[in-house]
Structure 1
Amino acid sequence: MSLCAALVAGEVSGDLLAGLLLGGMKQRWPELRSWGIGGPHMAAQGFRADWPYEKLAVRGYVEVLRHYREIVGIRRALKARLLAQRPDLFIGVDAPDFNLDLEADLRAQGVKTVHFVCPSVWAWRAGRMAKIRRSVDHMLCLFPFEPALLQAEGIAGTFVGHPLAGVIPQQPDRAAARRRLGLAEDAEVLAVLPGSRSSEIRYLAEVFFAAAARVARARPGLGVVVPAVPRLRAEIEAAARRAGLAEGLKIVEGRSHEVLAACDLTLIASGTATLEAALFKRPMVIAYRMNAISWQIMRRQALQPWVGLPNILLREMAVPELLQHEASPERLARALLDWLDAPDRMAAVQTKFDALHHALRRDTPQLAADAIQQVLQA
């Protein structure tokens, strides 16, 4: 069976998830044709990107407003193209602010729609349920508790596991990762991940590097490594210089999984990368800063006391979260040093992350393809 699928992924993590999904779909439908908005992981599966995912990689209310006209123009042009070419299926990969409205329009015109990654209605913006019900024929869920929540609202969903849990080894090889990155095998290594969006680098990078500099002064010999999105490398290097961490800092382009495998702990921006760090069994300090207005809006809509995915999934504050004004260099450095000074605490959280990894590991490509096939046959 020949299948034409249009997909939209709006950031680095969505491109990675969509690439894994497309790999499974190609096994089921070898003649798959796919196009839309995406990045290099999708392109590696034969996907044709009519727009790069970077066009949608904007976070926060104020930040979105700055790019609103361009984003709306892209959605309008893509919708027209989709209705003219009418793929067999549209799959929105995360990016709910962009994808749900588009999916609602397409579904109303008879195009079957699947959404991959359930919006965090269990964490904030529960009012989205009505929009999801209008927009989505089927939801592919990353977490086991989500299908029941959706079913209660009349929305079909399938737990497909988290594809990263199948990609990331249950026992990462730290020594091999360090050899590949040129890091000393016996050194303490801190990974700094300030995000993959330009706005995140602007709000987080210098603060993160200032914290890392404090930790390095307290722990002589500490290695600091950053996996940089190539297009943001110059901004990251400039932030490191301003923070006084230009010397002794190792910046690599991409390779975030190798960096997480190699490190002892990480200072990391809230987002999908925190789950990746947990799957690599790495203790972490989660932090985030954004425009003050965006922060006030998001804080009022929060439904849970946690923002980091590891804490949400474990239902406890297993790792520290320092947000907005609390994410100062001093407090971040102290939280990192508290980990390094407590090896038993580090071992305990690694045990929790190991159990979480087992819970999320499924044959995601096959389960997702099974669900997609049911949608196509309905």
Structure 2
Amino acid sequence: MVAGEASGDLLASLLLQGMSQQGASVQAWGIGGEKMQQQAFQALWPSERLAVHGYSWEVFKRVAGLLRIRRTLGDQLLAVKPDVFVGVDAPDFNLGLEKRLRAGGVPTAHFVCPSIWAWRPERVETIRSAVDHVLCLFPFEPALLQNHGIAASFVGHPLANAIALHTDTQAARVALGLPLEAPVVALLPGSRSKEIDYLLPRFLLAAKALLAQHPTLQLILPSVAAQVPRVERLLQIHGMQAQVRLLAGQSHFALQACDTTLIASGTATLEAALFKKPMVISYAMHPISAMLMRRKQLQPWVGLPNILLREMAVPELLQDAATPEALAQSTHEWLQASLSRNAQWQALQEKLLGLHQSLQANTAEISAHAIQNLVAR
């Protein structure tokens, strides 16, 4: 098994847990994290070694090291011929390794369907040549893959089980020390440096406009530890240190406590949807990168809630459209809807509840069963 980052570690650990619960005697080894090791996984390298972001000389040196690891691991696997190889997410690392192993007679599975439905559709050819079976987090993905001759199973999304169908907003506010009756907006500009640089200044200017309309508004901003200095510097530059409450992590508490959220496109939008929160989705990047992404974009939506619901259920303000004025206006409209619990808010609640239920499944059991079937074949 090879799992990258914390999300892959969690998914792989659920698979190993499911195998154990079904009475299978499993020896599992490769690249993984703490949760996998708690399931008796032998990590030859930690999953953090697969995390590479950005473009720099240091990153290119890291990539060279990763290629050496992939080659070494591939040699070992082809020598011992395991019953199955499972690559968990990290497609840039895993698909090439899977292709080599499959050609060498090792059955391969890939856990998390690469988002060929959103961009980079050419990857479907790579998946077909590299993978015997794909374990999918979203219910529409197996049919899409099967149309291209790729076997796949829907195993549910772990977040849909980790987050309750109905959560207590008041309890989260008590836990965070927020006023129970005041309106609350959560700012989630992303966790990567470039996301924060491009989005947080816009979010803070929008927040200033919102404060003018809602003087009692509470603004909360969860941040990963590595980005706290960058976030604090931007808060100081915009004179918002006193107006924005910076949280150490606690993004789930922030989403549970808020009335609405101004949020960067990504997995966090799915988390917001599972907490049934109205949101304004935004993203911005270097203009050249944005142009290249638009050329590869396959759907009219970029936010996961809209993609899964197949409609523009919540607004998306991207690139040039992500002006502070537009962000403030859209967030104000959803905040008003949340506070009044109007028909628009109620309709969104019903849609998000249905989305949540559609993603629920026993991931550990279903994924383990799919792998056992692959091995048996």
Match of 2:358 in 1: 359
**1:299 & 1:97 partners in 2: Cα distance?**
21
Report the alpha carbon displacement of residue 321 of structure 1 after superposing the two structures with TM: 0.5
Shift of 1:103: 2.0
User: By how many angstroms is 1:36 displaced?
Assistant: 1.1
| Match runs of 1:4-15 below 5 Å | 6-10=1-5, 12-15=6-9
Q: Is the 8 A contact 1:210 1:244 kept in 2?
A: no
Corresponding residue for residue 200 of structure 1: 195
Partner AA of 1:340 in structure 2:
L
**Residue correspondence of structure 1 range 295-314 to structure 2 within 5 A:** 295-314=290-309
Give the C-alpha shift of residue 313 in structure 1.
Answer: 0.9
Corresponding position: 1:27 with 2:27: no
* Aligned partner (choices 109, 121, 135) of residue 114 of structure 1: 109
Matching residue within 266, 269, 276 for 1:271: 266
Report whether the alignment pairs 1:320 with 2:315.
Answer: yes
- TM-score, length of structure 2 as denominator length: 0.89
Query: In the alignment, does 2:222 pair up with 1:227?
Result: yes
Alignment of 1:1-378 (within 5 A): 6-10=1-5, 12-28=6-22, 29=24, 33-38=28-33, 42=36, 48=43, 50-53=45-48, 56-58=51-53, 63=55, 67-84=59-76, 88-343=83-338, 344=342, 345-378=344-377
Contact 1:26–1:32 (Cα < 8 Å) also in 2: no
What secondary structure, in the 3-state scheme, does the structure 2 residue paired with 1:278 have?
helix
The alignment partner of 1:121 has SS state of coil
Contact 1:8-1:37 within 8 A present in 2 as well: yes
CA distance in 1, matches of 2:267, 2:283: 13
CA contact (8 A) 1:284 1:320 kept: yes
For the structure 1 residues 134 and 225, does the alpha-carbon distance in structure 2 shift closer, same or farther, using more than 3 Å as the test? Answer: same
Query: Unaligned stretches of 5+ in structure 2?
Result: none
CA contact (8 A) 1:13 1:272 kept: no
Displacement of 1:19 in angstroms is 4.6
Instruction: Count how many residue pairs are aligned between Structure 1 and Structure 2.
Output: 368
Percent sequence identity over aligned pairs? 49
Q: Which moved more, 1:84-93 or 1:265-274?
A: 84-93
CA contact (8 A) 2:136 2:156 kept: yes
Per the alignment, do residues 98 and 288 of structure 1 end up closer, same or farther by CA in structure 2, a change over 3 Å counting?
farther
Is there any run of 5+ residues in structure 1 with no aligned partner, and where? 1-5
| Partners of 1:247 and 1:167 in 2: CA distance | 33
Deviates most, 42-51 or 143-152: 42-51
Is this contact kept in 1: 2:272–2:279, CA < 8 A? yes
Q: How many Å apart are 1:359 and its aligned residue? A: 1.1
Call closer, same or farther: CA 1:354–1:88 in 2, change over 3 Å: same
Deviation at 1:347, TM superposition (A): 2.4
Task: Work out the CA distance in 2 between the residues paired with 1:300 and 1:338.
Answer: 31
SS in 2 for 1:213: helix
Q: What SS does the aligned partner of 1:247 have?
A: coil
Question: For 1:12-49, what per-residue CA distance to the aligned partner results, in whole angstroms no more than 9, with x for missing partners?
Answer: 544444454444344345765444155x6556656547
Normalization by structure 1: what TM-score?
A: 0.88
- Paired residues of 2:49 and 2:66 also in contact (CA < 8 A): no
Q: Could you say what secondary structure the match of 1:172 adopts?
A: coil
User: Contact 2:3 / 2:47 at 8 angstroms: preserved in 1?
Assistant: no
Cα distance, 1:280 vs. partner? 0.6
The amino acid that maps onto 1:142 is L
Residues 204-226 of structure 1 deviation map (CA, whole Å, 9 limit, x = unaligned): 22222222232223211211112
Q: Residue 53 of structure 1: CA displacement? A: 3.2
Residue 310 of structure 1: how far off its partner (Å): 0.5
The answer for the alignment partner of 1:3 in structure 2 is none
- Deviation, structure 1 residue 324: 1.2
- Greater C-alpha Rg: 2
Of 111-120 and 353-362, the range deviating more from structure 2: 111-120
